[in-house]
Amino acid sequence: MKKLVYLLLALMMGFSAFAQKKEVKAAEKALKKGDIELAQENIQKACELKDNADAKTKARIYFTKAKIAEAQGDLETAVKMFVKVKDFEKENGFTKYSGDAEKELMTLGNQLLKRVSAANDAKNFAEAEKNMKLVYLISPNDDNLYILGVLQLYNNNFEEAYKNFKQLYDKGYTGVKTQYLLTDTKTGQTVAAPDEKTMKIMAKTDQYTNPRVEKTESKRAELVANMLYALSKMGKDDEAFQLAKKAEAEDPNNVSLIVGEANYYLKKNDHKNFVQTMERAFQLDPQPQYAYNIGFGYYSMKDYDNARKWFKKALELKPDYKDAVLALSLVELAPEKELVEKINNSLSSPKKYEAYMEELKAVYRKALPYLEKYHELEPNDEKNIRTLKKIYTQLGMRDKANEMKALLKRM
């Protein structure tokens, strides 16, 4: 009885295998004719029977399914199935369809890269990320993983971006490439050879000169900056600070890392360390933005002399720096509140009242050039116009005050 059961099972499996091959063949035939719907129908039937198939038939099913998906424009399924063909055949020790699958993947990879570029240009970062994931599936190298991480950053997918960046960071990824370059003697343009041997051969001809080997710039600092940004967006400030300190130890003159550390102090309202750290950044890279940030730190600590000095430095570097102009007006107006209180408390003492009023006018005179400069740069800033109107009135500059009054009416 048992022998009969086994015999029947064997016969069933044989019929099943025959049916699978028949369905796969029918799917292949329909695909060649361009009947995608029929091809899909037949391959689906083959998939339903594939558990009893031998390894080569399974590989054939996967390959045909990939070809159908490709014909349908479903590149995601096509890529996954072609990759599955390669992995499956490798696991089972044969390569019947792997070569063709590899060729198809290279073609699909180029199509996907074009889609990534187009989506990125259109700022459709979700689509760009989706397609880059498939590129990485086809070619899982570090450069593709880095590009994927950047696109995930653009798409606000901070956790995945950080995970991929950290994988690269832990591996010591720099992105540095060796380039074999020559100069075209006719055009004067730089051309690249695929390797050193080819470069030397090309250099022996009259068409090329100046063979040289160069290294591309390291992406290590950019990688860390991206990690810090992702951590910051995830609210993991302490983790970001530790990473910045660790990376800074490797590269102590990296300005972006120093600024990252300074931003951590700023978030913690530690203005003293913020200022000290930003001054280090400014020494290495004297940018007007850094000077302004240092001034802001001192202003927050009510150290108005140093705030003034740094805001002026920012203006020296960038004369039309609106924020620095406005900041200088605020520095000069800092004593205003206290003086107004003293004036209000001195109504019974005309002598004190007059003295405080003169002090207040002196404050206004110092602030006025910056307020006027800011008005030139931002003529529609209503708050600034109101401040100018008030100060012109206090200083007896009626024509100017009326001018500001008219501007406010037109707003």
pLDDT tens readout for residues 380-393: 999 999 999 999 99
Q: Which residue has the tokens 């860390």?
A: 224
* CA dist., res. 128 & res. 143, Å (int): 16
Confidence at residue 260, expressed as pLDDT on a 0 to 100 scale: 85
**Span 143-182, pLDDT tens digits:** 999 999 999 999 999 999 999 999 999 999 999 999 999 9
Domain holding 259, by residue range, is 236-332
Letter string b/e over residues 95-117, b meaning 16 or more CB atoms within 10 A of that residue's CB: eebbeebeebbeebbebbbebbe
pLDDT over 80 (residue 340): yes
Are residues 24 and 89 located together in one domain of the fold? yes
Contacts of 193 (CB under 8 A, 6+ apart): 180, 181, 182, 199, 202
Answer whether 192's CB lies under 8 Å from 210's CB: no
* 225 within some domain: no
Are residues 98 and 141 located together in one domain of the fold? no
* 2 within some domain: no
Confidence at residue 49, expressed as pLDDT on a 0 to 100 scale: 60
* 5 within some domain: no
pLDDT over 70 (residue 262): yes
* 231 within some domain: no
* 227 within some domain: no
Average pLDDT over residues 240-268: 89
**Span 183-214, pLDDT tens digits:** 999 999 999 999 999 999 999 999 999 999 99
* 242 within some domain: yes
208-215 and 190-193: which strand pairing?
Answer: unpaired
Are residues 363 and 391 located together in one domain of the fold? yes
Are residues 311 and 378 located together in one domain of the fold? no
**Span 207-228, pLDDT tens digits:** 999 999 999 999 998 999 899 9
Are residues 296 and 311 located together in one domain of the fold? yes
CATH number of the domain within which 326 lies: 1.25.40.10
Q: Pick from 315, 332, 349: which residue ends a domain? A: 332
* 99 within some domain: yes
Residue 24's pLDDT band, with cuts at 50, 70 and 90, is confident
Are residues 165 and 202 located together in one domain of the fold? no
Nearest alpha carbon to residue 173 among 224, 228, 229, 231: 224
CATH number of the domain within which 70 lies: 1.25.40
Nearest alpha carbon to residue 58 among 107, 96, 26: 96
Residue 78's pLDDT band, with cuts at 50, 70 and 90, is very high
Total domain count, the chain: 5
Determine what percent of the chain is predicted with pLDDT higher than 70: 93
Q: Pick from 332, 365, 395: which residue ends a domain? A: 332
Confidence at residue 94, expressed as pLDDT on a 0 to 100 scale: 92
**pTM assigned to the model:** 0.72
* 35 within some domain: yes
Backbone angles phi, psi at 219, to 5 degrees: -100, 10
